[in-house]
Every structure is written in C-alpha cells, then in structure tokens.
Amino acid sequence: MGRMSPIKVLLVDDQSLMRMGFAMVLKAEPDIEVVGEAADGKRALAQVSALKPDVVLMDVRMPGMDGIEATRQIVAARPETKVIVLTTFDLDEYAFGALKAGASGFLLKDVRPDDLVAAIRSVAAGDAAISPRVTRRMLDLFAGKLPQDEVADEPAADPLAALTPRERDVFVAVAEGLTNAEIAERLFVSETTVKTHVGNILTKLGLRDRVHVVVWAYEKGLVKPGEGGTPLAA
C-alpha cells in the first residue's frame, strides 16, 4: 500500500552548501523528489504555493522571515504540506517555536542520511519526525514560554470529552512520550490497534500528529512541566 508518486520535498536554507548536501542525499532515493529550493522564509512560501510539496525541510535561523514564521504561514495556507525543521543543536528554542507553529518535528543539521530519509518518509505518511519523548523534553525545558491563558478560559470544559475511555488512555500515553510499541505493551493491545486509536484522537481533537498531541496537552494544562508520572490521572 505504498505511495504511487514520489514524495515531493522543498529545501529551505540560507546556506547553498547545506541545500546542496541535502539535495544530493535525497536525489539518490527513488521515492523522493526534490522539487525546489529557497534561501529564506518568504521565498519558501512562494515555492510552497507554486510547487505544492509534501514535505518542507526548513531551516529556522534565516535572515528576513525566519523558519518559525514561515512554518506558521505554510501550515495555515496548506495544511497538507508537512514541515520538518532543521536545527544546529538538540532542544533548540527555535525548534521548539517551530513545533508550536505547526512543524511535524525537527532534525539536527548533521543528521545521518538514513535518518533524514526515514524522517521524510515518516512525515509524508502522517507520522511525526521526532519521538514524542523528545517533544516532552523540549516542553519541560521551555514550558515557561507556553501561554497559560487558554487553561483559565474554560475551566469547566473537558477538552477530552470527544474521546472514548480507551482513546483517553492512549492520549495519556502519547502525552507521556510513549511509542506505539510501549503503548501497546501498557494497554495489552496490538500496535495496529494503537495506531487506529491515535488516528481517531488526531481527527477528533483536530491535531496534526503525535507531536501536537504532546504540545496540545501542555497548552491545555493536562500535563505539567517536569511530570514524570502519568498526566490526567483520574
């Protein structure tokens, strides 16, 4: 049940050598097509509109419009295009900002070629490019920058009201940063069943992927910074 057409990728980085390096890696893959390049956020927006890529590899630190604002505008204008942010070091505040803006994950710029290709395929298939566990660590680190006013607006509302009890269980596990395999083991179900539940959760809550389950849980006050235990404990 593979894709019939190659995954269309747009490369966005202000360093031409960096774009060239990524292009060389990706052009060697039969199921990936580099459809264009851009050196800044504004040009990236125009390229997304014209080329309709499946995945954008987005540098965050660029002159003019940075990758965070470009990500925000791309996600708003063309939600079906997924953004993977490129950063120079792990747990970067810029990468965190891009996740909040709607990116589906981040990669270090010195990522191994195999991992780069795997991340692009994963995001194109609707999964996240980084594990929810890494997202948890980022949120713990930058939690002070999260807006808390949303939590106070509707104190009586249950943000998870649309979910079934089992979907709530899966939501909790994803928000903790567990993988599908770990969730399956915890709940004594198959990984296929977990994937089905995750898909239902994303649809019902209007979230893009697993990364945004974690971000959303923090924003709604359902997970507290530094919590090692189970969030949403009944």
Q: What is the CATH number of the domain that holds 40?
A: 3.40.50.2300
Which pLDDT band holds residue 139 (cuts at 50, 70, 90)?
Answer: low
How confident is the model over 225-230, as a mean pLDDT? 50
Last residue of a domain, one of 74, 98, 130: 130
Name which residue leads in pLDDT, 148 or 129. Answer: 129
Is the residue at 231 inside a domain? no
Residue type, 26: L
pLDDT in the model for residue 233? 34
Q: Using DSSP, state whether 66 is helix, strand or coil.
A: coil
**pLDDT of 109 above 90:** no
Interstrand relation of 82-87 and 106-108 (parallel, antiparallel or unpaired): parallel
Tokens 């953004």 sit on residue: 83
pLDDT in the model for residue 143? 58
**pLDDT of 130 above 70:** no
Comparing C-alpha atoms, which of 40, 49, 32 is closest to residue 13? 40
Q: What percent of the chain has pLDDT over 90?
A: 42
Which pLDDT band holds residue 54 (cuts at 50, 70, 90)?
Answer: very high
Q: Are 77 and 48 in contact (CB under 8 A)?
A: yes
pLDDT in the model for residue 138? 67
Tokens 């924003």 sit on residue: 219
Which pLDDT band holds residue 86 (cuts at 50, 70, 90)?
Answer: confident
Supply the range of the domain harboring residue 169: 149-219
- The mean pLDDT of the chain is 82
pLDDT in the model for residue 232? 41
| CATH code, domain carrying 160 | 1.10.10.10
How confident is the model over 92-108, as a mean pLDDT? 81
Whether 35 and 125 map to the same domain: the answer is: yes
Cα–Cα distance between 86 and 96 in angstroms, integer? 11
pLDDT in the model for residue 176? 80
How many residues would you count in the chain? 234
**pLDDT of 70 above 80:** yes
Cα–Cα distance between 142 and 95 in angstroms, integer? 11
**pLDDT of 8 above 90:** yes
Whether 122 and 192 map to the same domain: the answer is: no
Whether 44 and 96 map to the same domain: the answer is: yes
Name which residue leads in pLDDT, 82 or 220. Answer: 82
Which pLDDT band holds residue 55 (cuts at 50, 70, 90)?
Answer: very high
pLDDT in the model for residue 132? 58
Is the residue at 210 inside a domain? yes
Cα–Cα distance between 198 and 103 in angstroms, integer? 18
Number of domain units in the chain: 2
Cα–Cα distance between 55 and 75 in angstroms, integer? 11
pLDDT in the model for residue 90? 62
How confident is the model over 22-33, as a mean pLDDT? 95
Whether 27 and 120 map to the same domain: the answer is: yes
How confident is the model over 168-191, as a mean pLDDT? 88
Is the residue at 224 inside a domain? no
